[in-house]
Amino acid sequence: MNTKRWIALGVAVVLFVVSLGFQAVTSVVTADFEKMFNFPDSSQKFQEEVVEEGSGNKIAVLELDGVIQNASTASLLNTGGYNHERFLEMLEAAGEDSTVNGIILRVNTPGGGVVESDEIHDKIVKIKEEHDKPVYVSMGNTAASGGYYISAPADKIVAHSATLTGSIGVIMESFNFAEFANEHGIKFNTIKSGEFKDIMSQSRQMTDEEREILQTMIDNLYGDFVDVIVEGRDMSESKVRELGDGRVYTGEQAANNGLVDELGSLTDTIAIMKEDNGWDNAKVIEYKKGLEINEFLGGTLQGMFKGQTELFGIKELLRKSNGPRAMYLYSK
């Protein structure tokens, strides 16, 4: 490479570094620092945004929006969407806060992981038993599968007439490209310690014995789902199994078959909780949390790399697809 090309390359590198620096400075200058560093004081873990002014009793609204999963936080680029640990912390804080008299969960999710859904369910049951606080659910666009699982123990479920809910059941999926591999002469070498160590392998056909093992596991998890609804909704097991064939219901259909109690919006749910408990002038707040430094940096990186973040997301999905797991999930 001649001298002129080295100089051109050096100039290009300098311009690239300057460009990155400019974008970083722009992000800092335009950042909402009040929001970024507006952390709760030591006596209050989460900020309280007032939804309705009032005195006396207090209702806390907690929003659950997105797929219920304990996503990896290793990457700075994973900054948005549902945060499982944070939601559990919000639930616990609302339960332990003596100034909070009632809790409304605003649920908008197609469901998610079996374990994560069960953790939320158990936290709700604990709040009701240990703190004797009413817990209502207001369903948004979708509250299906795991979304219904976590709603079942609520004292009252309110859905919009067009809400998609139900999808009671368990699913486990994986890709299988064994036929494609055979056609193209692709061979796989697998060293395993036991016969079923590579169960649900993507590189070979599933055996009948393997399918039976997995079906038994799914049936057991489905039985747990049925039990949660039987206990939470005071329904017979036969009725739950009749309704729980995996189909989704509109909010209106769910109200007609007993899966939800009333039809309405979040505002209606707040009014219903007030009326049910005689809290005419209750204050309504929503838990918020200030933008943390890792979220700020992640947002800055997303702005700098733009389209590259989509590639990172695809790589993350491919990585997770290698480990299929049982899900309480409604997916198209």
Would you state the pLDDT for residue 76? 45
Phi, psi of 181 (to 5 degrees): -65, -40
Cα–Cα distance for residue pair 75/274, rounded to 1 Å: 42
Residue closest to 140 by CA, chosen among 121, 157, 115, 163: 163
Structure-token pair, residue 310:
């989509």
Would you state the pLDDT for residue 40? 46
Give 174-184 pLDDT, tens digit per residue: 888 888 888 88
- Mean pLDDT, residues 221-247 taken together: 98
- Which of 2-11, 31-40, 133-142 has the highest average model confidence (pLDDT)? 133-142
For strand 58-65 and strand 102-109, is the pairing parallel, antiparallel, or unpaired? parallel
Q: What percent of the chain has pLDDT over 90?
A: 61
Cα–Cα distance for residue pair 4/219, rounded to 1 Å: 70
- Which of 21-25, 89-93, 317-321 has the highest average model confidence (pLDDT)? 89-93
Q: How confident is the model at residue 167 (pLDDT cuts 50, 70, 90)?
A: very high
Q: Which residue has the tokens 């739950």?
A: 240
Question: In whole angstroms, how far apart are CA 296 and each of 234, 288, 300?
Answer: 45, 16, 6
Would you state the pLDDT for residue 46? 79
Residue 43 clears pLDDT 70, i.e. is over it? no
258: left (phi over 0), alpha (psi -120 to 50) or beta: left
Contact status, residue 149 vs residue 251, Cβ threshold 8 Å: no
Contacts of 203 (CB under 8 A, 6+ apart): 176, 177, 178, 181, 188, 190
Would you state the pLDDT for residue 289? 67
- The SS3 call for residue 160 is coil
Q: What percent of the chain has pLDDT over 70?
A: 73
Would you state the pLDDT for residue 56? 84
Q: How confident is the model at residue 332 (pLDDT cuts 50, 70, 90)?
A: low
What structural domains does the chain harbor?
47-168+244-291+323-329 (3.90.226.10)
Q: Largest Cα–Cα distance in the chain?
A: 84
Residue 300 clears pLDDT 80, i.e. is over it? no
Would you state the pLDDT for residue 28? 46
Give 186-204 pLDDT, tens digit per residue: 888 999 999 999 999 888 9
State the catalytic residues: 145, 197
